[in-house]
Amino acid sequence: MTVLAVVGAGRGLGAAVARRFGQVGFDVALLARSQERVDALAGELGAEGIGARGFAADVRDRASLSAALDRAADTLGPVEVLQYSPIPQPEFLRPVLETTPEDLAAALEFSVHGPVTAVTRVLPGMRALGRGTVLLVNGGSAARPDPRVAGTSVAFAGESAYGQMLHDVLAGEGIHVGQLVVPGAITPGDARTDPAVLADTLWAMHTERDGFRRLARDLDA
């Protein structure tokens, strides 16, 4: 089976990506903190003919995230596509002069330790398949630091660097790593940032495999 794992799955972008990939035959592992919510989303997708299962995981708890990805692989098969796109928590969005070391530690757990944990867990399966894709989804502060949201600006910079290094070293193994930066909000009905539009972009990144970073819209828009 061909498996997509969405870390940070919700009813917006996560659901849209699950539908986009599910429509072409992917089974989908939905990972988020609430088992009840991912089970409900999996049920809705299942009613649309998409094979989906929910797995509870906290991205700031490495053991929890590792165990959830292991359960997903045991249930559905090795993960071919990993999307890491949890929504940053409010404490990461404070102005730089109000941001504490504790705030940064939490943001780094969320946006650096989490992706590293997830990739480390799924990479052996991708290598066994001989193919794979890692898709990182971040806000605009990943591309341009914003003093209004210091935690994500610092942590997304680390996630971006990690992703770029993976892109460079894994390309020769048939494993593509890409980052989608979405400046501003994900907005239903918007021509550039509607969840379904972004899902199409992520599908194109998976299939076209032609570079590391794409912007959903211009940073100055």
CATH number (domain holding residue 28):
3.40.50.720
Q: What is the residue range of 150's domain? A: 3-194
CB-based contact 111:158 (threshold 8 Å): yes
pLDDT for residue 64: 97
pLDDT in tens, 146-193: 999 999 999 999 999 999 999 999 999 999 999 999 998 899 999 999
User: Quick one: which of 111, 137, 141 has its CA closest to 219?
Assistant: 141
In a domain, residue 184? The reply is yes
Q: Is the pLDDT of residue 15 over 90?
A: yes
Min mean pLDDT across 55-59, 87-91, 137-141, 209-213 is at: 87-91
Kindly report the average pLDDT of the chain as a whole number. Answer: 96
In a domain, residue 204? The reply is no
Task: In whole angstroms, give the CA distance from residue 157 to residue 82.
Answer: 20
**Residue 157 burial (CB count, 10 A):** 17
Q: Which residues contact 130 (CB under 8 A, 6 or more apart)?
A: 173, 174
pLDDT for residue 220: 79
Q: Parallel, antiparallel, or unpaired for β 52-56 and 3-7?
A: unpaired
Q: Is the pLDDT of residue 33 over 60?
A: yes
Min mean pLDDT across 51-55, 90-94, 151-155 is at: 90-94
In a domain, residue 185? The reply is yes
pLDDT for residue 92: 85
Q: Parallel, antiparallel, or unpaired for β 79-84 and 27-32?
A: unpaired
CA distances, 64 to each of 11, 78, 120, 126, 210 (Å): 22, 18, 14, 21, 33
Total structural domains within the chain: 1
The kind and range of the H/E element at 74 are: helix 62-76
In a domain, residue 152? The reply is yes
Q: Write down the pTM of the prediction.
A: 0.96
The kind and range of the H/E element at 30 are: strand 27-32
In a domain, residue 50? The reply is yes
Q: Is the pLDDT of residue 136 over 90?
A: yes
Min mean pLDDT across 91-95, 98-102, 174-178, 213-217 is at: 91-95
Q: Which residues contact 12 (CB under 8 A, 6 or more apart)?
A: 186, 188, 195
pLDDT for residue 172: 95
In a domain, residue 141? The reply is yes
pLDDT for residue 221: 56
pLDDT for residue 90: 86
Q: What is the CA radius of gyration of the chain?
A: 16
Q: At what angle do helices 13-22 and 35-47 cross, to 10 degrees?
A: 40
Q: What share of the chain in percent tops pLDDT 90?
A: 94
In a domain, residue 219? The reply is no
In a domain, residue 21? The reply is yes
